[in-house]
A and B are shown apart, each in its own frame.
Chain A
Amino acid sequence: MSRDTVYLAATGTALPGDPVDNAALAKLLGASEEWIDLFVGTRTRHFAWDPATGEVLRTLADLCAEAGSRALAAAGLDPADIEFLVLATATPDHLLPTTATEVADRLGMDHLPVYQLQAGCSGAVQALDLGRCLVAGGRRAGLLIGGDVTHRFLAARRSAARMPTEELVNHVLFGDGAGAVVLTAEPDGPGERGVALRGVLNRCAGRRRPPGQFIDWSGISDRDTERRMLAEDYKAIEEHVPAISVEIVWELLGELGWTVDEVDHILPPQLSGRMTARIMEHLPVPSAAEVSCVTETGNTGNALPFLQLDRLLPRLGPGQRALAVTVESSKWIRAGFALERA
């Protein structure tokens, strides 16, 4: 059975451990709390590893299973009700088995299609895009999860003074976390005012553009490699992301036939407290309330839009509309989506 509308039934999140404030992060990096306050504007983040020892305390699968379990419980569904699972991440625990299949196992899901999307900040939107297609194709309910962990790339082993700036910037931006959404073919129940997914924008626009975010990996033959593993072209991101975000808003509005005054809530890109504030100054949605999490969670990559959705859904009143915008600078993917509560 083909369907036109899919619904967001519930959300769930997982943020490991206690929040790590800027004083603690500065101590970890040997960096400056005052600089992080001023130039990043993110107040706290969570790490699934012990900053003192580097020991991994919780894996990506741990976080994703927790977020997924919470979303299922909030939707009032059992694992057997879920007909597909999509997990988006840039930092899987292993290449195989995929973290997506590990999470399906942990949640007691079997004999269902399980997809893993290798993605960054647009991963949650890619999951929504794939999920809506699967529901439109006849599936009744699916679980979408996004998450990332930083333990392979961030460590207090080196002096911040001697770290290349394009690597150093990652240490002050990112945190660990996971978020999940249950997607359904029907609103929660008879008479329920379901949250409908009205539109999704998911477009790679990186032809002939160098990457804005680069993450490498190594294996048996090159595990001692000296090559660059992590780099962010923060100058290109600062220059281009605000303008691209504005274009995404106009494109979504144009496709939906909505006006700027009809947007009640806006979920802007969550790069850092400072950058998100700068992007918000440019977005043409004067009457929309901002739904952000980055100042408390840090940039959690694939988890971000789901963490924002977790904050949005309780605030989204009957008849209200919301837009979400995200830019994945790795290969300049433009992404966003639109929601409306009946």
Chain B
Amino acid sequence: MHITSLEGFLSLVRDELGLDTAGVEAADADLADLPGWDSLNLLRMVVLLEEHGRPVPVHRLLQARTLQEIYTFAKE
């Protein structure tokens, strides 16, 4: 289970989704500014969270503006 810390979550996003989450600023960066982030990667994120036992509804994810916020929703 990787989604036990923000660092673990960012590593998972980097390794599994191939998104560049290097650097502490990635967690707080606006998703629109995250290289490669788009609606299809939102879908991959939905599946990834589901696979790791942290399902988050799409309408909830759409409220998130940063990876930090997605992590917070996943922890809820």
Contacts and interface: CB of A to CB of B under 8 A. Distances in A.
Given A159-B47, A162-B16, A32 B38 contact: no
A169 B44 CA distance: 11
Given A39-B39, A165-B40, A168-B40, A34 B59 contact: yes
Contacts of B42: 35, 39
A214 B17 CA distance: 22
Nearest to B47: A161
B44 A163 contact: yes
B51 A159 contact: yes
Contacts, number: 49
**Chain A interface helix/strand/loop/mixed:** helix
Interface in B10-59: 16-17, 38-48, 50-51, 57-59
Nearest to A37: B58
Given A35-B42, A39-B39, A235-B38, A161 B51 contact: yes
A235 B38 CA distance: 9
Interface residues of A, number: 18
12 contacts: A30-B47, A30-B50, A32-B47, A32-B50, A34-B58, A35-B43, A35-B46, A159-B47, A159-B51, A160-B43, A162-B16, A165-B41
**Chain B interface helix/strand/loop/mixed:** helix
Nearest to B57: A34
A162 B48 CA distance: 8
Contacts of B50: 30, 32
A161 B16 contact: yes
Given A32-B58, A34-B57, A34-B58, A39 B47 contact: no
A31 interface: yes
A165 B17 CA distance: 9
Contacts of A172: 43
Given A159-B47, A160-B43, A168-B43, A35 B16 contact: no
A34 B47 CA distance: 12
Given A31-B43, A161-B45, A165-B41, 4 more contacts: A34-B57, A35-B58, A38-B59, A39-B43
Contacts of A115: none
Contacts of B58: 32, 34-35, 38
A31 B46 contact: yes
Contacts of A162: 16, 44
Interface in A142-178: 159-163, 165, 168-169, 172
B53 to A, nearest CB: 13
B57 to A, nearest CB: 6
A234 interface: yes
A261 B8 CA distance: 59
A28 B40 CA distance: 17
Given A38-B58, A162-B16, A168 B44 contact: yes
Contacts of B59: 34, 38
A165 B47 contact: no
B5 to A, nearest CB: 20
Contacts of A159: 47, 51
Contacts of B46: 31-32, 35
A295 to B, nearest CB: 18
Q: Quick one: which of B40, B43, B51, B59 has the most chain A CB within 10 A?
A: B43
